[in-house]
Amino acid sequence: MKRRTGQDPSITRNWRPATQAVRGGTVRSEFGETSEALFLTSGYAYDCAGDAAARFAGEQAGMTYSRLQNPTVEMLEHRIALLEGAEACRTMASGMAAMTAALLSQLSAGDHLVGGRAAFGSCRWLTDTLLPKFGIETTIVDARDAQAFVDASKPNTKVWFFETPANPTMDVVDLRTVCGLARDRGITTVVDNAFATPALQRPMDYGADVTAYSATKMMDGQGRVLAGAVCGTEEFITNTLLPFTRNTGPTLSAFNAWVVLKGLETLDLRIRRQSESALKVARFLETRVPQVLFPGLPSHPQHDLAMSQMAMAGCIFAIRLDGGRIQAHALLDALNLIDISNNIGDSRSLMTHPSSTTHSGVAEDKRIEMGVTEGMLRLNVGLEDPDDLIEDLDQALKVAGL
Ligand SMILES: *Cc1c(COP(=O)(O)O)cnc(C)c1O
C-alpha cells in the first residue's frame, strides 16, 4: 500500500488557492498525522559522521540546524509560495525582519532605491534612516504616480519598494504599470503585500519580482504571533536572500510557523468575510465623517484601479475627522466593543490613531506629507457582526460630537 506521507508537486501545484491554504506544503511524518506536525528542535542528528559531512557539503538532502531549516517552517514556506504563485519563499521572525532582509540582502553602498511615500512607519525608517546610514541612497515618491518612480530613478537605482494598499492612507499603486516600467529598466520591485495577502492580490501576476509580508497580520489573522515572509524566484531566494538570512538569523520559530499554518487554513474565509464587513462599516461611516479612505468605496479616487488588481478591498481603512487629535482620541475613548489597538489583520475589530502610535516615529513633516493627519483614525474590521460594529461606532461618534 502506498503511504501518502508527502505530496506530488506535479499534482499539488495545480490546486486552487483555497485548497493550497489548507493542504499546500504539508509533509507527513511516519505517523501519518493529519494536522501539520510541530517540530520543536534546534538541531538534527546524523546516522554517521560521513552523513554530517555530506549534508554540510550539500551532497546529501536533509536538515542541519534550525536557523537554516526546520520541517514545520518549510511546510509554511511551501504553502505561502504556492498561494503566492512564487517559485520560492522564506519566512522570517517578523514582517520587519522580512522587509529588512528583502532590501539589505540585495543592496550595497552606492546603490539607490526609490520608495513609496505612504508606508508602514518602520518601512519608512528603513528607507529614511537605516539604508542611508549604510551608503544606500533613497528617494521617496508618491507611489500613486507611476511616472514618479521613473523620474526619480538613476543609473544606480536597484530597487523600487512600495506597498499597496498603503498603510494607513490606503494609496493604491498600479502594479501592472509600475512593475512593467521597472522590468524595462532592470530594476527589482519589492512589494509589501501585507494588507491584501495573496488571497486578494498576487503582485507577481502583475510582474512584481519580490513580495514581502508581515504574516503577523491576516496570515495568522488572530493576533497571536509575529511572522514574516519573502517570496521571489528560486534564483533570488537561493543566491541573494539566503546568504543574508542564514548568517544573520532572523529565523521564524517553528511554533510561530505552526500557528501561521493553522491561520492560513482560514485565510480565504476570514479575509472575504472581513472585507464584506469592512465595506458595510465604511458605507455607514461615509454618512457620518468628513472622509473615508477605503479603495472598496466607489468614492475612493483609485477605486477602479484597486478593484482591477484586488479580488476584494480588504478589511483595513482609514477615516479623517476635522477635529484633530482631540476629536480622534475622544472617539477612541468612547468605543465599547472595538479595541483601541495598533495591530491589524486580527479577527477582532481594532482602531488606532496613527499619528500618535504607528507613525509617531516618522518626522512630523514627513507624516503630513504622507497624509497621516492628526484627525486620522485607522480601523481594522474583524469577524464580529458588522451591525454590532456600526452600533458601537454610532454611539462613539455621538460622544465625539459627530
Ligand atoms: C505590520 C506591518 C509591517 C511590519 O510587520 P511586523 O510583523 O509587525 O514586523 C510591515 N508592513 C506593513 C504594511 C504592515 O502592516
Q: What is the pLDDT of residue 2?
A: 47
- 401 exposure class (CB count in 10 Å sphere: 0-12, 13-18, 19+): exposed
177 lies in the same domain as 218? yes
C-alpha 220 – ligand 1 centre gap (Å): 12
C-alpha 196 – ligand 1 centre gap (Å): 12
For residue 252, give the amino acid letter: L
219 lies in the same domain as 320? no
Longest Cα–Cα distance of the chain, Å, equals: 75
Q: Which atom of ligand 1 is closest in space to residue 96's alpha carbon?
A: 9
Regarding pTM above 0.85, the answer is yes
Q: What is the pLDDT of residue 362?
A: 84
186 lies in the same domain as 206? yes
Domain end call among 246, 265, 284: 265
Q: Which atom of ligand 1 is closest in space to residue 99's alpha carbon?
A: 10
Domain end call among 265, 292, 317: 265
Q: What is the pLDDT of residue 12?
A: 83
Mutate to test the pocket of ligand 1, among 94, 120, 350, 379 (most ligand atoms within 8 A of CB): 120
Q: In the beta sheet, which residues pair with residue 214?
A: 228
CATH code at 364?
Answer: 3.90.1150.10
240 lies in the same domain as 133? yes
Sign for the pseudo-dihedral over CA of 313, 314, 315, 321: negative
138 lies in the same domain as 155? yes
Mutate to test the pocket of ligand 1, among 214, 219, 260, 342 (most ligand atoms within 8 A of CB): 214
Number of structural domains (the chain) is 2
227 lies in the same domain as 342? no
Q: What is the pLDDT of residue 1?
A: 38
Q: What is the pLDDT of residue 13?
A: 84
261 lies in the same domain as 276? no
Domain end call among 238, 265, 292: 265
- Give the pocket of ligand 1 (CB within 6 Å): 94-96, 99, 120, 122-123, 163, 167, 192, 194-195, 214, 216-217, 226, 228, 344
143 lies in the same domain as 261? yes
H or E, element range at 161: strand 157-163
51 lies in the same domain as 178? yes
95 lies in the same domain as 216? yes
Q: What is the pLDDT of residue 360?
A: 92
C-alpha 4 – ligand 1 centre gap (Å): 37
Is 148 in a helix, a strand, or coil?
helix
Supply the range of the domain harboring residue 344.
268-399
Write out the chain's pLDDT in tens, 402 residues.
Answer: 345 556 778 888 889 999 999 999 999 999 999 999 999 999 999 999 999 999 999 999 999 999 999 999 999 999 999 999 999 999 999 999 999 999 999 999 999 999 999 999 999 999 999 999 999 999 999 999 999 999 999 999 999 999 999 988 999 999 999 999 999 999 999 999 999 999 999 999 999 999 999 999 999 999 999 999 999 999 999 999 999 999 999 999 999 999 999 999 999 999 999 999 999 999 999 999 999 999 999 999 999 999 999 999 999 999 999 999 999 999 999 999 999 999 999 999 999 999 999 999 888 998 988 899 999 999 999 999 999 999 999 999 999 999
The angle subtended at Cα 203 by Cα 348 and Cα 279, nearest 5°, is: 35
How far is 287 from 80, CA to CA, in rounded Å?
Answer: 39
Mutate to test the pocket of ligand 1, among 103, 117, 122 (most ligand atoms within 8 A of CB): 122
C-alpha cell of residue 396? 462613539
Q: Which atom of ligand 1 is closest in space to residue 98's alpha carbon?
A: 9
Which of 207, 133, 149 is CA-nearest to residue 176? 207
C-alpha 226 – ligand 1 centre gap (Å): 9
CATH code at 170?
Answer: 3.40.640.10
220 lies in the same domain as 285? no
* Minimal-distance CA residue to ligand 1 atom 5: 95
319 lies in the same domain as 214? no
